[in-house]
Amino acid sequence: MTVPVLQVENLNVDYRLERQWLNALRDVSLTINPLEIHGLVGESGSGKTTLALALMRYLAPNARISSGTISLDGDDLLAKSPADMRRIWGKDISLVPQDSLASLNPSYPVGDQIAEVTRRHQRLSRRESWRQAVEMLRRVKLADPETVARRYPHQLSGGMQQRVTIAMALSTQPRLLILDEPTTALDVTTQAVILDLFRELIRANNAAALYVSHDLGIVAQLCDRVTVLYGGEVMASGPVATLYRQPLHPYTIGLLASLPRPTPGVETRLPAIEGAAPSLAERPRACVFEPRCPAAIPLCAEVKPALEKLPDGRLVKCHRWREIASGAVQLPTAPVQQTTSAPPRQRTVLQADGVTKRFGESNLLDQILGRASKPVRAVDGVSLRIRERSTLGLVGESGSGKTTLARCIVGLTTADEGELELLEVPLANALSQRSRDELRNLQMVFQNPNDALNPYHTVGQALARTIRRLSAERLTDEDIRQRIAQLLAAVRLPAEYAGRYPAELSGGEKQRVAIARAFAANPALIVADEPTSALDVSVQSVVLNLLKDLRARESTSYLLISHNLDVVAYLADWIAVMYLGEIVEEGDADDVYNPPSHPYTEALVSARPVPDPAARQKIIRLEGEVPSARHLPSGCRFHTRCPRKLGAICETEAPPWRDAGDGHFIRCHIPVDELAELQAGPPDSKHEDR
Amino acid sequence: MFARALAQLTRRPLTLLGLCIVILFLFVAVFGPAIAPYRYDTIIRGAARQPPSAEHLFGTDRLGRDVFSRVVWGARDIIFLPAVTTALSVIFGTCIGLLIGYYGGWLDEIVSRALDSLLAIPALVLALVMLGTIGPSPFGIIVVIVMLYTPIVARVVRSATLNIRSQGFVEAARLRGESTLYILFQEILPGVLPALTVEAALRFSYAIFLTASLGFLGLGVQPPSPDWGRMVNEARDSVSQTPWALWAPAGAIAILIIGVNLLSDGLRRIFRYEGQVE
């Protein structure tokens, strides 16, 4: 029998807060075998980062490991002295952090930083360690590693920085690699490339890895085994394939079911996990998941279930797993079909024509000094139309200009050129020239719920102010009180929340208040910029359902912006794909998943991590970085990265709009039927046999 | 948040000590004339150069004036002048800081550079030149110190405003058509207040120090008014005979400044801790 690389048994970690010890991890056990990638899934507050840090014995000063064992290759880590641990860090255990820019020293070239690791741990000479650093950068597939090694962190893009931290983590050939949400800050297309790299390098290095993530899709695609953490306890653990195919724990079932996924032609509703994860001090004493569990019975609130081992080696901590396994207890496992859907109307809510926004235009002083620079064309002549009671989804990588376009529409940024029409009446580009009625009809939901509400105003004050400012008629205090109660009920928050301050609300609750505020005065269009990207998976489904319900009830339209195609497709009936300030494809939401589509859209679809280990997807990886919007590529802007590039014509001539029928348009040199043919091929086998 | 800050205050002994010192001095400043056994300018016949005793707590100076009474009477000016200058600096500095922080661009460039150039002049040099021209007076002191401290407060408020102005709730306020005045004072100012409170306490302690220094140089309140800085200067010549006449006002200045500093230091920690919680 092989010795596991990492074995954790009955680990308990406490935090000292407000003069008492609170239990953060309770009896966590975990085994990682050689060559295995072990996924650790959990929402914020589940203790997944605490576990990752505890494994490295790198906890905060107010934390302690109160009991349990951690062994690395059979060697007891808890018995090591601090000096021993310093030799182990970076050599036997390496960490790839979430924020790569923050973990690289800004004042040294990245090559020096990688070389320092091998110089310290393997006592290599300066020249030898530098040579090896360059070699590591080559292995993480950075083009021109010699040059990259001499660059400073800020001169590299996010994807390149993350590759540097991976190179650094792997340079000493560690036994165990801990990856703490290493792709959260990256675009999907970059994420796909980085995940491929992990898979390849971990195997080539004969290492094992713990992959900490909240994204079930990534875990499905990358990991061999998964452990699901909730409230500091292991809920379930097992091989990826069986755990996803037949989840036995209500929490795992709920998490998987609440992920939006493409359902062509069917209007669906996500089964959501109600409530919020408990804070450290408020964790239930019996089953931690009981308050949110749809299958809870009185026993669950009294007796803590044991972590049971199934015959096939899976672990599950639930009183009712046998009933779930036998089918006696049925929990919703997939989005359910929704019948009460109101179809979009024909009337146009918003029309944009040739909207253009440039940043960094040279001013008079620059021109006199002769240092005039080319402006960044963030949005370049974009036209779009949103119908009443419909949702236009806008997708694209960071830097595509989607947020700038949204801000131009609501007026937070004034467009340089182009015409806007709201409800078929011309709309001024500048916010200060818009009437109260126009302001009322155009509201926005922001990305970060934590700064969307003023921390010094109560929920009620925030809503009242918006209602008072935007309502056409004069309202009495009683009218406003009623409207606030109505709004809170609409976003499914208790009425007493009106008296609370934002600090007393969870992230999901804050976002619901922000949505209520946007709806306060019956707007015609709400622009939602990544409304769920800062939220946990289980909260995301609640917010998405809410947006869907409110659209049907209030006859509001949305402009929904997201990098997550599945989120967009769940809500949107029409999708526009943006690349470098231009729309490259638009059409019905279901059409973008199917051929023919723009090569860029095709790449976005294939890069999306599907939460199904058995799924076979086309592998299309975009090489290189998004070009700078200051120096736009000639011809087709996508030609520098396009896997289906034809030849010289793509570099010299702007591609034409091609009609794929039913209002579906693609901006590409390749004719529609040829695209369909190229893309209809069978999906390539996903990766070599696992 | 401020209620919680107050609860925090009582849990920090040094901050509490600072608060007690400040309250004690405020009390003396307000009720000074009632506490003091003599007027500040009463010359007691035949009682010159007396060491501290039950009758004369801090002794008497070389003219036979009761030092304790002079210190008590003097508390009013040394607290009143810095309080006024601090209040004015905070008001002006906040308005300027909010405006340039919110609008940015050209306005910010011009005003910030102007403030920087004011800050580049050494405080005492500016004070000497200004008070030399307009003549020493309490009003002159107020003008000089407000000129010196407004830019500092403005810079603190400006940087706090920069952090807040791009947050979602400010943009939401713009989207419902709020006036700039509303956004500055209702949406942004509350977020600036913690930093501003700490800065105000710090400015207050510096203002006390500067007022005392100007008094020492003879540019403050004119005799025979009891100014602590001037008292130190006057007692300097006869320090070998009446050291108590020097130590009493000097000690009062030191204790008051220590008290204010302990308080402002505590406030800073409390607000930083509060900031982390949110």
Instruction: Assess contact for A276 and A509: CB atoms under 8 A.
Output: yes
* pLDDT given at position B274: 52
A156-179 pLDDT per residue, tens: 888 888 889 988 988 888 889 999
In terms of CA atoms, which chain A residue is nearest residue B165? A451
In terms of CA atoms, which chain A residue is nearest residue B105? A363
Interface probe for B, chosen from A361, A365, A435, A451 (most Cβ of B below 10 Å), is A451
In this predicted structure, the answer to whether residue A689 has a pLDDT above a threshold of 70 is no
- Between A679 and A576, where is the model more confident? A576
Predicted confidence band at B278 (pLDDT cuts at 50, 70, 90)?
very low
* pLDDT given at position A370: 66
- DSSP E strands in A199-266: the ranges are 208-213, 225-230, 233-239
* pLDDT given at position A118: 87
Q: How far is CA A41 from the centre of its chain?
A: 14
In this predicted structure, the answer to whether residue A214 has a pLDDT above a threshold of 90 is no
- A216-225, A562-571, B225-234: range with lowest mean pLDDT: B225-234
Query: If you average pLDDT over residues B247-254, what whole number do you get?
Result: 88
Q: Do B175 and A439 lie within an 8 Å CB cutoff?
A: yes
Q: What's the gap in Å between the CA of A484 and the closest CA on chain B?
A: 17
Helices B13-35 and B2-10: angle between axes, nearest 10 degrees: 90
Nearest to A451 among B167, B177, B277 (CB): B167
CA distance A549 to A556: 10
* pLDDT given at position A676: 87
* pLDDT given at position B272: 66
* pLDDT given at position A341: 59
- Between A443 and A552, where is the model more confident? A443
A219-246 pLDDT per residue, tens: 998 999 999 999 999 999 999 999 998 8
* pLDDT given at position B187: 94
* pLDDT given at position A364: 62
Report the percentage of chain A scoring pLDDT > 70.
96
Around Cβ A408, how many Cβ atoms within 10 Å? 24
Which residues face A236 on adjacent strands?
Answer: A228, A316
* pLDDT given at position B275: 45
Q: What's the gap in Å between the CA of A201 and the closest CA on chain B?
A: 38
Nearest to A451 among B168, B174, B176 (CB): B168
Instruction: Assess contact for A216 and A537: CB atoms under 8 A.
Output: yes
Query: If you average pLDDT over residues A552-561, what whole number do you get?
Result: 90
CA distance B241 to B231: 15
Using a CB-CB cut-off of 8 Å, the residues of chain A touching B191 are 454-456
B109 touches chain A (CB under 8 A): no
Q: Do A444 and B171 lie within an 8 Å CB cutoff?
A: yes
Spell out the CATH class of B2-27+58-277.
mainly alpha
Predicted confidence band at A685 (pLDDT cuts at 50, 70, 90)?
very low
In this predicted structure, the answer to whether residue B169 has a pLDDT above a threshold of 90 is yes
Largest Cα–Cα separation, chain A? 79
* pLDDT given at position B216: 85
B224 touches chain A (CB under 8 A): no
In terms of CA atoms, which chain B residue is nearest residue A455? B191
In terms of CA atoms, which chain B residue is nearest residue A468? B176
* pLDDT given at position A186: 80
A455 touches chain B (CB under 8 A): yes
A234-291 pLDDT per residue, tens: 999 999 999 998 899 999 999 998 888 877 777 788 888 887 788 888 888 899 999 9
Report the percentage of chain A scoring pLDDT > 90.
44
B46 touches chain A (CB under 8 A): no
In terms of CA atoms, which chain B residue is nearest residue A502? B278
Predicted confidence band at A478 (pLDDT cuts at 50, 70, 90)?
very high
* pLDDT given at position A127: 92
Domains along the sequence of chain A with CATH = 100-173 (no CATH), 252-337 (no CATH), 384-416+428-576 (3.40.50.300), 610-679 (no CATH)
* pLDDT given at position B276: 40
Q: What's the gap in Å between the CA of B258 and the closest CA on chain A?
A: 30
In this predicted structure, the answer to whether residue A53 has a pLDDT above a threshold of 70 is yes
Query: If you average pLDDT over residues A547-558, what whole number do you get?
Result: 88
DSSP state string for A140-168: TT-SSHHHHHTS-GGGS-HHHHHHHHHHH
Q: Which two tokens stand for residue B86?
A: 């601090």
A470 touches chain B (CB under 8 A): yes
Q: Which two tokens stand for residue A324?
A: 């779930």
Mean pLDDT value across chain A:
87
* pLDDT given at position A379: 92
* pLDDT given at position A681: 65
Using a CB-CB cut-off of 8 Å, the residues of chain B touching A503 are 277-278
B7 touches chain A (CB under 8 A): no
| Residue A146, Cβ density class (10 Å: 0-12 exposed, 13-18 middle, ≥19 buried) | exposed
In this predicted structure, the answer to whether residue B271 has a pLDDT above a threshold of 70 is yes
* pLDDT given at position B277: 36
Nearest to B176 among A448, A456, A470 (CB): A470
Using a CB-CB cut-off of 8 Å, the residues of chain A touching B168 are 446-448, 451-453, 514
